[in-house]
A and B are shown apart, each in its own frame.
Chain A
């Protein structure tokens, strides 16, 4: 079974540019989560989809971040315009329906560097 995949693996952009990250969850997983780790800090929750609906977006830092999950399959996270403090590793995770616990499967992450 394929795991969670993320694209791109790395992205280097300039301040003010736009970047779109993509996450493909494990097939059949209704729950999809985005997390972020900035340098020197702990991994922090951004938002949670159940199928195509946003269940919880309390962790989104500001309105420069927009997440979508059209059709309830893959998800995108767009940062527009990017700022220096957005640099970090963005992880996506998925879990099965009803499994609102810790057994989330993480993707390899997208390393974003904003210059």
Chain B
């Protein structure tokens, strides 16, 4: 079983649509959670961290359910510029209680927003 699993996609949506990405993680020691965005042939860039209480940044809303080991990202009023691959990322707690530092990535879900 993969450590981080995401919807395979691709998602093709019209401008203005609302789109939701789902992700599950297998390691209950996962400590920190993120959504990264990766444009074609570019590097991953942090989009937003995901907190237990849920958090919002403009059109983007992230949710975390630790009991279900589930993370989501909602994009409202999608724009052409939102077209990219969205990567679900977790960070594992180390033996000493701190983070191990390295990130564990899902394969990503490609989003294509059409005019």
Contact = CB atoms under 8 A, between A and B. Distances in A.
**How large, as a class, is the contact surface on chain B?**
20 to 34
Interface string A88-101: 00010000000011
A102 B46 contact: yes
A1 interface: no
Given A33-B102, A102-B89, A91 B43 contact: yes
Interface stretch (A36-44, A67-75, A78-86): A36-44
Contacts of B106: 42
Given A42-B106, A102-B32, A91 B100 contact: no
B98 A100 contact: yes
Contacts of B98: 100
B4 interface: yes
Interface of chain B, main secondary structure = strand
Contacts of B115: none
Interface residues of A, number: 22
Contacts of A106: 43-45
A16 B86 CA distance: 35
Contacts of A41: 107
B58 interface: no
A48 interface: yes
A108 B103 contact: no
Interface of A: 31, 33, 35, 41-45, 48, 55-56, 59, 91, 100-104, 106-109
Those 5 A-B pairs whose CB atoms lie nearest each other, nearest first: A45-B102, A102-B34, A106-B43, A100-B99, A43-B105
